[in-house]
Amino acid sequence: MPLSWDHAAALQRVDGDAELLAELVEIFLDDYPRHLAALQRSLAQKDYAALHKAAHTLKGSLGYLGAGEGEQLAAAIEQAGQRPDEAKLQALNAELAAYVEALREAMLSSLGEGERAGRGR
Amino acid sequence: MPAVAAKPIACPPPLPLAPCRNLDHVLVAEDDALYRRILDRLLSAKGYRVECVTDGLEALGKASSADPPRLLILDWMMPGLQGPEICRKVREHRCECYQYILLLTARNQPDDIVEGLEAGADDYLIKPFNAHELLARMRVGERMLRLQDGLLAAQESLRFQATHDPLTGIWNRRALFELLNVELERAVRESAPISLLLIDIDHFKRINDDCGHMAGDAILQEIAHRLSAAVRPYDLIGRYGGEEFMVAAHLDAEGAAQLGERLRAAVSSTPIRSEHSAITATVCIGVANTSAPAECSLEKLVQAADLAMYRAKGDGRNRVEADRLA
């Protein structure tokens, strides 16, 4: 599915501070592989507390960065982790991982365009 | 002998008001790097002094340190200690200054909000929050802290006014008697001698009549100052009445007589200079002492000091007379 990132909404949240937003995206892009890995690992080990924690963190970051769908997926994993259904969690994990990878592309292209626009001015 | 200038007259002593302190000092306890960065950046840009920690135990350590932050932003889920647990511990610890706590919580968890507030948080912020909401809530926190600090300062000022003599700044009569009872009880408990000294300014009415009440006030202030400087730091000194002061000390008869002599000399040895004149003031001191405080009472001690003081007056003023009780 083609994914677009609501760059404008995220920018509004940080009061128009594009520099801060770029930094936050960088933090997110650095961190998310670790959290996705934690989701996979904790599901494999049936460590639902760790699963909950990783999903919770991703939910917070995605929510802040204006990635609503991803936030909802992470919230679904967080909730499903309370009444574990492995098959469902596997599916959700896969869906979230795919979403986040697509988001990464969208973010990089959005920020890249912003930079080009900035330089062009 | 050089005259010593009295302090400005009719000016009440300064009140020890606690100023609003550290209202810009914020602690951010957040294990998520993204939110930590957001909070640090948004708050620093507004001039807050931001300290960031990533662990609940570390947050509690900072919150109860010698330089405690006044505003605490605590994430709910953290390693070490969870947000609400930190709230409870901070409230138990009872910092000298109130600390305003803003708890960060995730969306769709209304039970959490109640639990967090019950644990001692003042307010909460739901993630993801926007910059304006965060800063508005910080301003609410600051407003609360200012009110709180103002109340504490007013309370302290009232406490000071209720216990101190406005002219001289030493204990007033009410506080003096409360403290005298405490000291007498201590003497009973320790079976130690206690002495009471009643100090009355000689010819004070004449000073007032000849030099005016302003000069009279200046004399009272300077004598209170000299007596306070001459007693030991742990002796009790207060204004007993118009021109009378009282000192209580855990001293035997001999020690009390020496103290009385020292106080008498401190007043009479140097003239007191006010705006237009230099006046040599003297005092009469009646000393009462008991080495068996359990068989004594405050009334008896005061009465004995009073009688001794009148004897000193009769014997020609600028004198110390002692009366020893059992």
Please report, for the domain that includes residue B32, its CATH number. 3.40.50.2300
Nearest of B276, B264, B255 to residue B316 by alpha carbon: B264
Domain boundary among B161, B179, B208: B161
Distance from C-alpha of B254 to C-alpha of B166, rounded to nearest angstrom: 33
List Cβ neighbours of B322 (8 Å cut-off, separation of 6 or more): B253, B256, B257, B260, B286, B287, B288, B289, B308
Count of structural domains, chain B: 2
Residue A17 within any structural domain of the chain: no
Residues making up chain B, counted from first to last: 326
- B171 phi, psi to nearest 5 deg: -55, 140
pLDDT < 50 positions in chain B:
1-18
For residue B129, the distance in angstroms to the closest alpha carbon of chain A comes to 7
Q: Which residue of B has its CA nearest to A15?
A: B131
Query: Are both B170 and B275 inside the same structural domain?
Result: yes
Q: Is B183 one of the catalytic residues?
A: no
For residue A20, give how far its alpha carbon lies from the nearest alpha carbon of chain B (Å): 8
Q: Count other Cβ atoms within 10 Å, centred on residue B45.
A: 14
- Is A83 a residue whose pLDDT tops 90? no
* Domain interval for residue B80: 25-161
* Distance in angstroms (rounded) separating the CA atoms of residues B16 and B160: 8
Portion 30-49 of A in contact with B at CB < 8 A: 31
Q: How many domains does chain A have?
A: 1
Q: A52 touching B, CB under 8 A?
A: no
Of B111, B136, B161, the residue at which a domain comes to its end is B161
Alpha helices (runs of H) in chain B, residue ranges in sequence order:
33-45, 56-63, 83-93, 110-118, 131-163, 173-190, 204-211, 213-230, 253-268, 298-314
Q: Is residue B18 a part of any domain in this protein?
A: no
Say how many CB pairs under 8 Å bridge A and B. 53
Which residues on chain B are in Cβ contact (under 8 Å) with A57?
A: 32
Cβ within 8 Å of residue B198, ≥6 positions away: B240, B244, B245, B246, B285, B286, B288, B302, B305, B306, B308, B309
pLDDT of residue B96: 75
Residues B84 and B200 in one domain: no
State residue B2's pLDDT score: 42
- Residue B72 falls inside a structural domain: yes
Pinpoint the alpha helices (H) of chain A.
7-13, 18-44, 48-64, 68-80, 86-120
Report the phi/psi class of residue B94: left, alpha or beta, with left for phi > 0 and alpha for psi in -120 to 50. Answer: left
Range of the domain at A80: 33-112
Instruction: Identify whether residues B37 and B157 lie together within a single domain.
Output: yes
- Interface confidence, given as ipTM, is 0.83
- Do the Cβ atoms of B34 and A17 come within 8 Å? no
Shared domain for B233 and B313, answered yes or no, is yes
Are residue B298 and residue B212 in the same domain, yes or no? yes
Residues of B in contact with A64 (CB under 8 A): 34-35, 38, 127-128
Which residue type does B307 have?
L
User: Which pLDDT tens digit goes with each residue over B86-122?
Assistant: 999 999 987 778 999 999 988 666 678 888 999 999 9
- Looking at the structure, tell me whether residues B212 and B280 fall in a common domain: yes
Q: Does A63 touch chain B (CB under 8 A)?
A: yes
The pLDDT value recorded for residue B8 is 38
What's residue A121's pLDDT? Answer: 37
Distance from CA of B158 to the nearest CA of A (A): 45
* Residue A74, SS3 per DSSP: helix
CB-CB contact of B219 with B272 (8 Å)? yes
The answer to whether residue B19 sits within a structural domain is: no
CB-based contact A15 B131, cutoff 8 Å: yes
CATH of the domain at A81: 1.20.120.160
What's the predicted TM-score (pTM) here? 0.71
Segment A51-64, tens digit of pLDDT: 998 999 999 999 99
Q: Does B125 lie in the same domain as B201? A: no
- Out of A12, A14, A59, name the one closest to residue B106 (CB): A59
Determine how many CB atoms are found less than 10 A away from the CB of residue B100. 23
Question: Is B216 among the domain residues?
Answer: yes
Residues B109 and B129 in one domain: yes
Query: Which member of B243, B244, B254, B299 is catalytic?
Result: B243
What pLDDT does residue B20 have? Answer: 55
In contact, B135 and B127? CB cutoff 8 Å: no
| Domain annotation covers residue A108 | yes
In a domain, B154, yes or no: yes
Pairing of strands B100-106, B71-75: parallel
Q: Is A98 on the interface with B (CB under 8 A)?
A: no
Is residue B11, in this structure, part of any structural domain at all? no
